[in-house]
Amino acid sequence: MATIAEQSSELRLATFRLSRRIRAEKSDEALSDGQIAVLGNLYRNGTQTLGQLAERERVSAPSMNRTVNCLEEGGHLTRVADDVDRRKVNIALTEAGRVVVKETISKRDAWLTTRLRELSREDREVLARAAELMGGLATL
């Protein structure tokens, strides 16, 4: 029987490999994983400041600024002055950015659905339970 440390390592590796494979499914191959993550963050959480984006993505503000600049140049997001504090700039998705996120979600879901169909009902139930547990681990 594997130790908890060995199980941890196996789970980490399997999660990493699956995550990497799912991330490969995206609607715009020119965008990096980090850029897709920023677009997804804005899609889920709405308009944010550069600092908020950097904090949520766990990167430095200068790094996030470079990412935002690239995405802005590509027409995926825009900077808008805050309605209350004109000194503050908010980052918002454009329609093009929203389309990229929706299409990427669709591609990723389709890829995973195809793989899940290859499994038995019992194995899908095990993975559904594992997803619940992993979601709980992620919030600790």
Q: What per-residue confidence (pLDDT) applies to 85?
A: 82
24-105: CATH class: mainly alpha
Above 90 in pLDDT, residue 87? no
Residue 86's H or E segment, with its range, is: none
Residue 49's H or E segment, with its range, is: strand 48-49
Furthest CA-CA distance within the chain: 61
How large is the average pLDDT for residues 26-48?
96
Percent of the chain with pLDDT over 90: 91
Helices 61-73/33-45 angle, 10° precision = 90
How large is the average pLDDT for residues 79-97?
91
pTM: 0.86
Q: What per-residue confidence (pLDDT) applies to 86?
A: 79
How large is the average pLDDT for residues 46-75?
96
Above 90 in pLDDT, residue 91? yes
The alpha carbon torsion through 12, 132, 140, 106 (nearest 10 deg) reads 70
State the Cα–Cα distance between residues 140 and 6, nearest whole angstrom. Answer: 20
Percent of the chain with pLDDT over 70: 99
3-state secondary structure of 32: coil
Above 80 in pLDDT, residue 94? yes
- Residue for token pair 């979600």: 105
pLDDT confidence band for 83 (50 / 70 / 90)? confident
